[in-house]
Amino acid sequence: MRIGWFFLFSLVAHSTNVSAGRIEGCEKRLCENTPTTRGCWGQYSIETNYYTTAPDTGNTVEVWLSVEESICNQDGYERPCMTFNGTMPGPPIMADWGDTLKIHVTNRMESNGTSVHWHGVHLRNSNEWDGSRKLDVGRITGTTVEDINVRLTHTALFQWTINSSSLVLDWNKPTLQQIFDDESVFPTPYNVVEVEKTHGDQDEWAVLVIENTAATFFGGIAHPIHFHGHDFWILAQKNTSWDGSSTSFQTTNPVRRDTAVLPAHGYLALAFQLDNPGAWLVHCHIAWHSSMGLALEFVESQDSISVRRGHWKTLDQTCQTWSAWSKGAPYLQDDSGI
Ligand SMILES: *[C@@H]1O[C@H](CO)[C@@H](O)[C@H](O)[C@H]1NC(C)=O
Ligand SMILES: *[C@@H]1O[C@H](CO)[C@@H](O)[C@H](O)[C@H]1NC(C)=O
Ligand SMILES: *[C@@H]1O[C@H](CO)[C@@H](O)[C@H](O)[C@H]1NC(C)=O
Ligand SMILES: *[C@@H]1O[C@H](CO)[C@@H](O)[C@H](O)[C@H]1NC(C)=O
């Protein structure tokens, strides 16, 4: 897995190290750090668009993580919890921008399955490692400065009015598996929205307008909406109802994020590029809200989703082991697991 934003997070902590020549192929210094600035990393800087540009250090960081049951005391009360290596949060993973991360996860919990998902990493053309079927961990969001114009011509527009249809999928039959088995009709509880490019190789955008008009108490509170597989550009984020037009959309240099707040009784209009075929989740990052219905899945450019042979074998084995184990699992599935 090639890392995107993840590394930036750790770079901030030891950026002098990097500008001292850690990144190969960095003969020319375009900028220098000073005692008060840390935004420059040789040929790269805080302003480099990591969507399109990344160094290759040729270095691989290999990490072993163990998922364990433990007792945590986060707020003054002890209670059972899941941890990485016995602590919450788990041990930090330190890598430089351009390194390859190889992470081995062992589940040592007695009676629950789990999967691990990476934040801040787009997993471009490697949907199979999104791992968000059952558990979603970690949270690193960021932004860079760039000039962008979101082109709204030929743009697919989707509207998601928050409802209470919970996303529930069969863990023995994840969406990708279903796609590879050529079962093109997704079960309703998978909450799938299909998105296809209509103009071949050209850059194409999709716009998702999420409206928070639920009559339940969900409508009266704000929700942190998180995207998998993409960053998105915030076209509008308002505390009023949407008038159905693009009048309120800011399309020149909008803010880029992978999580943004949907205001109470309001709407959020997000644009994203159709550049990463896969099955990707969009959900509120408060786990139980997600469980109550604030989650949907985009199946993007279905026919272009590919999984490398070796990866598929690993996935298939994991699924088979899961199928065999889950038949006798002590707990029944009670939500999407997101
Ligand atoms: C986590 O624990 C495993 C053994 O349980 C150990 O091998 C590994 O090095 C630990 N990982 C980190 C990042 O500390
Ligand atoms: C395992 O799952 C059950 C049912 O969801 C839950 O009650 C229990 O706390 C879980 N155990 C851990 C360690 O998360
Ligand atoms: C709720 O929203 C999801 C995602 O748009 C959709 O798939 C589902 O059919 C909707 N349910 C209802 C009852 O409108
Ligand atoms: C809605 O947003 C406007 C402008 O940002 C602000 O003045 C107003 O107080 C907000 N209303 C509510 C109910 O939050």
Domains present along the chain, CATH in parentheses? 155-304 (2.60.40.420)
Question: Which ligand ends up closest to the CA of 267?
Answer: 4
Residue 7 has what pLDDT?
25
Minimum CA distance residue for ligand 3 atom 11: 165
Question: Which ligand ends up closest to the CA of 163?
Answer: 3
Question: Which ligand ends up closest to the CA of 209?
Answer: 3
Find the distance separating the first CA and the last CA of the chain, reported in whole Å.
22
**Ligand 3 contact, 83 CB (< 6 A):** no
Arithmetic mean of pLDDT over the chain: 78
Does the pLDDT of residue 308 top 60, yes or no?
Answer: yes
Cα of 71 vs centre of ligand 2, distance in Å, is 12
**Ligand 3 contact, 298 CB (< 6 A):** no
75-82's contacts with Cβ under 8 Å and 24+ in sequence apart are 82/109, 82/112, 82/114
**Ligand 2 contact, 79 CB (< 6 A):** no
Of 143, 183, 191, the closest CA to residue 165 belongs to 191
Mean pLDDT in residue range 320-324: 84
Mean pLDDT in residue range 136-155: 41
Of 237, 228, 296, the closest CA to residue 262 belongs to 237
pTM for the full predicted model = 0.79
Minimum CA distance residue for ligand 2 atom 7: 331
Does the pLDDT of residue 239 top 90, yes or no?
Answer: yes
Cα of 267 vs centre of ligand 1, distance in Å, is 43
Residue 137 has what pLDDT?
28
Minimum CA distance residue for ligand 3 atom 4: 191
Residue 223 has what pLDDT?
94
Question: Which ligand ends up closest to the CA of 263?
Answer: 4
Ligand 1 neighbours by CB, cut-off 6 Å: 63-66, 85, 91
Residue 191 has what pLDDT?
87
Mean pLDDT in residue range 153-167: 70
Where would I find the beta strands (DSSP E) of 274-336?
278-284, 295-300
For residue 177, CA distances in Å to 126, 168, 267, 305 come to 14, 15, 33, 11
Give the CA count within 13 Å in the CB-facing half-sphere of 140: 20
Of 240, 244, 230, 281, the closest CA to residue 262 belongs to 240
Minimum CA distance residue for ligand 3 atom 7: 191
Residue 141 has what pLDDT?
24
- Residue labelled with tokens 């030891």: 14
Residue 11 has what pLDDT?
26
* Cβ atoms of residues 90 and 82 within 8 Å: no
Mean pLDDT in residue range 171-200: 86
